[in-house]
Amino acid sequence: MKRITIKTILGCSVLILASQACTDLSETTYDVIPTSGTFGSTANQQAALIGPLYNGLGDYYGNKTNLNTTTDEQIVPTRGGDWKDGDNWIRLYTHTWDPVTDNNQFNGPWNWCYNNITSINQQLGTITDANLKAELRALRAFFHYEAMDMFGNVIIADSVGAGTPKQSTRAQVFAYVEKELLAVYPNLSDVSGGAYYGRMNKYVADMILAKMYLNAQVYTGTPRWADAVTRTTNIISSGKFQIVGDFFSNFVTQNQNSQEIILATPFDKSKRQGFQVQMQNLHYLQQLTYNLGTAPWNGFAAVTEFYNSFDDKDTRKKMWLVGQQYKADGTALIDDALPLAYTPEVKSLVLAAGAEGRIQGARSVKYEIQKNNSFTSQDNDFVVFRLADVYLMRSEANLRLGNMATALTDINVIRKRAGMPDFTTLTLDMMLAERGREMAWEYHRRQDQIRFGTFGNAKRFKPVDADNHWALYPIPRDQLSLNPNLKQNPGY
């Protein structure tokens, strides 16, 4: 079995945030085109310089996928000796992770944010075009938003410097990101797709702001529901996006033309690798189902109760593989004389070796599995933001504001596509459940559960959290060692 690890693909992964440590940061970087000579003196040349900076955005998927195990939608049981990995998957699932033992689980996402911020800061000094500068500042704001969401009190890094910078409060980082996005908004493009596919534009900025406002009570203590409505309405009323008729068309192998996608991170099985959903989820023998070049790793599965939250008439339930599986020629797959038939029931976090343990748990095929693929990566682009989320966010914000009729109108747009009857009334519990069914395994669940107050609840194999400090990840041990100004989050 091959274990999933978080990897920072950028060449700058060897760098520490320039303003974060006392070490010499004069290493050669490989993700930025040199600007010596006259190159970079024109707007077109400057546009070419920012391309490599978006490479780091592609690591959104790699840095979110493991941590989704902290939620109520994903489980990675130990199957005999497979997926043991020092019990780190169990600690993530049961909210018993340790900042020392599990340092790498959190240091990877931290470095993902700040290595990219460093690269952006280094390039910003060479950019004179106002629109490109705005785009890079918006991208930098996105990474600050991600760091704030995961770790709380983090560093505001808005320039290249030296020394050990101070740690800012979560509220201060919130204010910084909001100010940055509002400042650059007029200079951001209003083009969606095409040359702006996978890039920062006005609609991505609106989405980041809407996410921040929806979670403002968690981040700052002050709710901003009306502001969330404003920003989501900007996206919907722009007419640039639409709810596509086929839910699964957002996740097919060639999904770059979906009119529902607001921001995606492009992948290519050979040129920009890293999207390996089929390897994470599928049973080893399903190499024969899809004619894959490598046997999958048989790891991730749906939490039983989460799978059971889908009505049988809900078309979205087809995102889960259950029951008998087959070879490409239609022959039933057999694992050690036992039919390879996935069961939704996961009976333990630690399963005995053998075929019975290997088939437990529904498997995600929300993203189309690429057939006849000799690579371990797929061509699907990973969707960060899409319009269905916008409708659900606006519905929730209006519900919290007491606007029931408006909230129902928006959420029923999403239910209609799923083949489900309209809601005639709506509660917060219903809203969270509907978000789960629509946004499953798109890595918004932790944020949603924290906002709805359910992240610390008991779930299968996990008791209720004794306190809520698990709602923030620990500041990585490596970062605490580098910067004495960083203080660990409470509870760790």
Q: How many other CB atoms sit within 10 Å of the CB of residue 252?
A: 17
Long-range contacts: 303-306, Cβ < 8 Å, 24+? Answer: 303/72, 303/73, 303/74, 303/75, 303/346, 303/459, 303/460, 304/344, 304/345, 304/346, 304/361, 304/460, 305/72, 305/459, 305/460, 306/72, 306/73, 306/436, 306/440
Distance of alpha carbon 81 from its chain centroid, rounded?
28
Report pLDDT digits (tens) over 261-306: 999 999 999 999 999 999 999 999 999 999 999 999 999 999 999 9
**Measured between alpha carbons, how far is 469 from 10 in angstroms, rounded to an integer?**
31
The predicted pLDDT at position 39 comes to 62
The predicted pLDDT at position 41 comes to 65
The dihedrals phi and psi of 176, each to the nearest 5 degrees, come to -65, -50
The predicted pLDDT at position 49 comes to 76
The predicted pLDDT at position 38 comes to 58
Q: Which domains does the chain have, with CATH numbers?
A: 26-188 (1.25.40.390), 191-249+385-459 (1.25.40.10), 277-380 (no CATH)
The residue-averaged pLDDT of 450-473 equals 98
CB 204 within 8 A of CB 233: no
Residue 292 exposure: Cα atoms within 13 Å on the Cβ side: 25
The predicted pLDDT at position 23 comes to 29
pLDDT at 162 over 70: no
pLDDT at 163 over 50: yes
The predicted pLDDT at position 176 comes to 98
**Measured between alpha carbons, how far is 419 from 332 in angstroms, rounded to an integer?**
30
- Top-confidence residue, 467 or 35: 467
The residue-averaged pLDDT of 163-185 equals 96
Tell me the average pLDDT of the chain: 92
Q: Percentage helix, strand, coil, to 5, in the chain?
A: 45, 10, 45
The predicted pLDDT at position 50 comes to 84
Give residue 118's pLDDT band: very low, low, confident or very high (50, 70, 90).
Answer: very high
The predicted pLDDT at position 392 comes to 99
The predicted pLDDT at position 164 comes to 85
**Measured between alpha carbons, how far is 284 from 389 in angstroms, rounded to an integer?**
33
The residue-averaged pLDDT of 100-116 equals 97
**Residue whose C-alpha is closest to residue 437's, from 482, 388, 385:** 388
- Top-confidence residue, 364 or 10: 364
Range of lowest pLDDT (102-116, 153-167, 183-197): 153-167
pTM: 0.91
Report pLDDT digits (tens) over 17-74: 333 333 233 333 334 444 445 566 676 776 777 888 999 999 999 999 999 999 999 9
The predicted pLDDT at position 288 comes to 98
Report pLDDT digits (tens) over 309-336: 999 999 999 999 999 999 999 999 999 9
Report pLDDT digits (tens) over 365-410: 999 999 999 999 999 999 999 999 999 999 999 999 999 999 999 9
The residue-averaged pLDDT of 455-482 equals 97
pLDDT at 3 over 50: no
Give residue 14's pLDDT band: very low, low, confident or very high (50, 70, 90).
Answer: very low
Report pLDDT digits (tens) over 214-261: 999 999 999 999 999 999 999 999 999 999 999 999 999 999 999 999
The predicted pLDDT at position 10 comes to 32
